[in-house]
Amino acid sequence: MRPRDARLSTVWWAALTVLCGLLILPLFVVDIPPLMDYPNHLGRIFVLASLPQDTALARFYAPHWSVIPNLALDIVGPPLLHLLPVNVAGRLLIAASILLPVLGTVAYQSALGGRWWSFGAGLIAYNNCLLYGFLNFEISLGLALLVAACWIRWREAKPARAMIAAAIGAPVLFVCHMMGLVFFAALIGGAELFIVYRAVPAGRHVAIRTAAERGAILALVFCIPVILYALSALEQLHGDALFGLADKTGHFLAVFVNYNLRLDLTAAAVSIWLPVLLVLLHRGIVPGPAAIAMALLTVAYIAAPYAWKGTSGLDMRFAVMIAFMLFAGVLPVRMPFWPGIVIAVVLGALFTTRMALLVTVWAAHASDLRDLRTVLAPVQPGQTVYVLSAGPDDAPAYWQANPNWRRLSNGVRTDTHLGALVLFEHRAFWPGEFDFPAQQPIRTLEPFTTLIHRTGLPRDRKAAINADLCGFDYLLMTEADALPSLPPDRFRLLDQKGFAALYAITACETRPGLQGVVAHHGASSSP
C-alpha cells in the first residue's frame, strides 16, 4: 500500500471509530433510554434469565420456547444478565442495535467499491424503528447487510466461502427477526439477478443455465429458514392484512422521525434527494446488485400491508431498509473536491444537530425515571401493579406541550411501557408484559392470565377509576403531573413525585351491591 493510501485508510478507520463513539454517546446519559418497547423487552429478558430460580417471578411467568423468528434479544440477553447488571446489559444490546445497521451499511458499500458516503447512515441510525424499540429488527438489519457484503466480496472469487457464510447467516437471521431474512434475500437476490442479467447478451441458453445454477444455490441457502418457518407458530397464525396505500409516503418519511418535525423533514429531504441528485448529475452511480435490491424493496414496500399476523408497521420495515440502502447502495463518482466538502459539512452538521437534540431529550427522560423509581420504592417482590397513564383525551394541553419530549415528532408516545420497571427492578407483576406465543418465548401463568384479560392493558384515568382491580396491590400513575388525584375511597396515595404517583388499592371494585375487596399491602391478592 502506498504511503498516501495508508494515510487515507488510517483516517477512514479513525473517522468510523469517531462516528460509532458519537452514536453510542446517548447511552451514557440515561440507563433506560426512552425507546418505546425497550423496557418491555428488558423485562422479558430479565424473567428468562431469572427463571426458574426466582420464586417471585415463577408465580407469574414460565419459559415458552418454540420456533420463533424474533429472538435476537431473548437469546443473547439472558446470558449477558448473568454477567452484567440488567441496565448495562440492556444498553449493550441497544448499542448493537444502533451500530450494526451502520457498520453493515459501511461494509456493504465497501464491497461495492465505495467508501465515505456510507458514513451518512449515521444520520438515520436513530430511525423510527429504533426509537419504537424494535431492537430485534434493527439487529437483523445490520447482520443482513454484513452477510450480504461477504456474499458480494466472495461470490465470484471465493464461492465456497460465500455460500458457507450465507448458509450460516440465513438461519441466524431467521432467528433474530424474519424481516432481516427478507432484507438479506433481497440483497443477495439482487446480486444474483444482476449476474443473470449480464449473461443475457451471451445468449438465451447461457442466461437460462446461469439463472438455474444461481437459483439452485439460493434455494440451498434459504432451505433451512423455509423449514423453520413451516415449523414456527407464525406460519399457522392467521390474521387479516391491513393495507394503507395512501399512507405510503407518510410511512416512508416516518423513518426519519426524531424529536423535532422540521429537523426530521430536513434529514429526510437531504437523505432522499442528495443521492438522487448525485445520480442525476452523473456524480453518483447505483451498482447493479444494489439497484435491483432497491427495486425489489420498493415493490415490497408498496405491496406490503401495514399490519399482518400480529405484526404492525410491516411496510415501515421495508421503508427503513430502503433508507439505509440510500447510503449503502449509492456510490459517488468523479466528485470534485469542494462540492464533496460541502456535502460532508451539510451531513455532519445535520447529524450533530440531531444527536445533540437526542442527548438533550434523553437527559430530560432521566428525570422522569428518577420520579418513577422514587414512588416505586414500596413495591415488593411478588406483588402486582396496575398502570395507568394520561391519554390525549385526558390531558390534551399537556400532550400538546409535550413536556420532556415524551412524544416523537409524529405524535408517537415513548413512555407506554415504563411500567415494566416494576418487573425487572422490583420483581413484581405488571399486566403489559409481551407474551404473544408466536413472537416471544414466555407465557403468563394463571391466575394472572385471567387478571390481564379482565382488566386489559394499562388504561387511561377514567377507565382505571371504574375498573375491577381485584388482584392488584398498587396502581402506578404515569404523567401524574397532568392528572388529578384518584378518588380516595378506592385509592390511597402513597407517594407522588412529578411524573409518577403510586397508590395503594384499598377497594378494588365498584360494582353496585358488592362490597369492595381490600387489597392488603405487602401481599398480592388473587383475581
Q: How do residues 75-86 score in pLDDT, each as one tens digit?
A: 999 999 999 999
DSSP-derived letter for residue 526 is P
pLDDT tens string 433-486: 988 887 899 999 999 999 888 887 667 787 888 888 999 999 999 999 888 899
Q: What is the pTM of this model?
A: 0.93
Q: How far apart are CA 249 and CA 302, in angstroms?
A: 10
Q: What is the 3-state secondary structure (H, E, C) of 1-61?
A: CCHHHHHHHHHHHHHHHHHHHHHHHHHHCCCCCCCCCHHHHHHHHHHHHHCCCCHHHHCCE
* Predicted pLDDT of residue 308: 67
Give the dihedral of Cα atoms 319, 321, 327, 330; nearest 10 deg: -90
d(CA 284, CA 290): 13
Average pLDDT of the residues of the chain:
90
Q: How many CA atoms lie within 13 A of 505 on its CB side?
A: 31
pLDDT value, residue 516: 38
pLDDT digits (tens, 9 = 90+) for 297-307: 999 998 888 76
Residues 6+ apart with CB under 8 A from 17: none
Dump pLDDT digits (tens) for 25-77: 999 999 999 999 999 999 999 999 999 999 999 999 999 999 999 999 999 99
Estimate to the nearest angstrom the gap between the alpha carbon of 399 and the chain centroid.
24
**Distances from the Cα of 128 to the Cα of 95, 258, 347, 414, 489, angstroms:** 16, 7, 19, 11, 42
Let me know how long the chain is.
527
Cα–Cα distance, 207 to 99 (Å, whole number): 39
φ, ψ of residue 306 in degrees (nearest 5): -70, -40
What is residue 520's predicted lDDT score, i.e. its pLDDT? 40
Domain ranges of the chain: 25-64+366-527, 65-335
What DSSP character marks residue 313? S
pLDDT at position 517, please?
38
Question: Distances from the Cα of 52 to the Cαs of 384, 426, 443, 451, in angstroms?
Answer: 19, 17, 13, 22
pLDDT-based confidence at residue 241 (cuts at 50, 70, 90): low
pLDDT tens-digit readout, 178-214? 999 999 999 999 999 999 999 999 888 999 999 999 9
> What whole-number percentage of the chain has pLDDT above 70?
92
